[in-house]
Amino acid sequence: MAPVSLVSKMYGVCLHAARQAATLNSARLLQLRNFRMSAARPQQPFDSSLEKPQFPGASAEFVEELEFIQPNVISGIPIYRVMDRQGNIINPSQDPQLSKETVLNFYQKMTTLNTMDRILYESQRQGRISFYMTNYGEEGTHIGSAAALEPSDLVFGQYREAGVLMYRGFPLDSFMAQCYGNADDLGKGRQMPVHYGSRDLNFVTISSTLATQIPQAVGAAYAYKRENTNRAVICYFGEGAASEGDAHAGFNFSATLECPLIFFCRNNGYAISTPTNEQYRGDGIAARGPGYGMLSIRVDGNDVFAVYNATKEARRRAVAENQPFLIEAMTYRIGHHSTSDDSSAYRSVDEVNYWDKQDHPISRLRHYMTARGWWSEDDERSWRKESRKTVMEVFERAEKRLKPNPELLFTDVYHEMTPHLDKQREGLRRHVQQYKDQYPVDLFDKPAE
């Protein structure tokens, strides 16, 4: 009887475990179903007796007059601002009331970025690095938006958002190491200059391919929503990238999946050499948001406070309401598109000088600080001298560092070296050994013992 009793007990335990698993699976399926249903908008009850459109694809009324919708149904989406060009607060209720220390940090980050740009741009012109892209004129969009985010929020950049990474604490040494592709580069010299990235600072590595970050950001935001992490994603891009198919796919997916995501468009007037009037016929990029069911706003990108306010509110609501926001920051690219571009071929010096001298985000913030007694001419001279000295010291260190070991070409793809990669690595070793007089091996870091 003992074996029979034992079998009966085992059967009872197994049956109980199976019932528990079924209950858990049912609960999990119900949870997933509820999640999906919460993201779906319920269809309104169908009543065939009403003379109203019943088409499921749009909300509208019937009309009896033939009329095409005009491209610009309103005079133009307004541009939200907090400060005028002289740094005066226009509406006190919109003043973010930031502390002196915070505002000084804004200014110092913006000017340090400007100084780093000038030094690295000249470095490329002297043949010391292969490529560079400046951020002249767009510093306000970087610092204003970065300050409004939480450190845990994930950033997808395009290639002109170095200030966002700088505000998050990316060291000058790391900027220089990446542009020089030396042994200290986090990317191990595998990327071309200005393609920064930092896992620790939640900044996804830049990709040269235009607009690929947009659908990727949607996927990341959807994952955050599923995990209920109270985190948001911000995705930066230029108005030129908004013409890519990836932008349209990303906008639509983010709206239908209701993702905690901020699309941040830097409309700087040019997609390389193509001006905005040759890129699109509608009212900029913000006007596209309503067509996808997204809340949108257009801000003065040269007003760091306007950018801060808009991004902070968009971030708050994106997380609280699980929906995407589109911010179009109107600004101007003062520098060439890159060191491979000569913008004098397609725009006038007078046009550039206006934005550089009359409507620059750095000078606007400086006016604001000066009016409050927070900054003086002496402070300016002292800070400019100090920041340039700091950047130059980092620059000189980076230039003297060795290049990454060539064998790093074969790592970080597979967890274990595959036979075909091992064969290629051995081939490289033999080749360099045979022709070592043709390769500056002394300039490269040695493999770890």
Tell me the catalytic residues.
122, 208, 337-338
Return the structure tokens found at 121.
């741009």
Match 């070409």 to its residue by tokens: 409
Return the structure tokens found at 143.
């610092």
Beta strands in 106-201 (DSSP E): 154-156
DSSP 445: P
With beta carbons less than 8 A apart as the criterion, state whether 264 and 329 touch. yes
Residue ranges of the alpha helices (H) in 199-348? 213-227, 245-256, 276-279, 289-292, 304-321
From the number of C-beta atoms within 10 Å of its C-beta (0-12, 13-18, 19+), residue 353 rates as exposed
- Nearest CA-CA partner of 196 in 223, 213, 176, 217: 176
Strands 270-271 and 274-275, sheet pairing: antiparallel
Mutual orientation of helices 213-227 and 245-256 as an angle, nearest 10°?
10
With beta carbons less than 8 A apart as the criterion, state whether 163 and 227 touch. no
- Nearest CA-CA partner of 215 in 254, 267, 258: 254
Q: For residue 426, how far is the Cα from the chain centroid?
A: 39
Beta strands in 323-441 (DSSP E): 325-330
DSSP 234: E
Q: Which residues contact 42 (CB under 8 A, 6 or more apart)?
A: none
Return the structure tokens found at 363.
């000078």
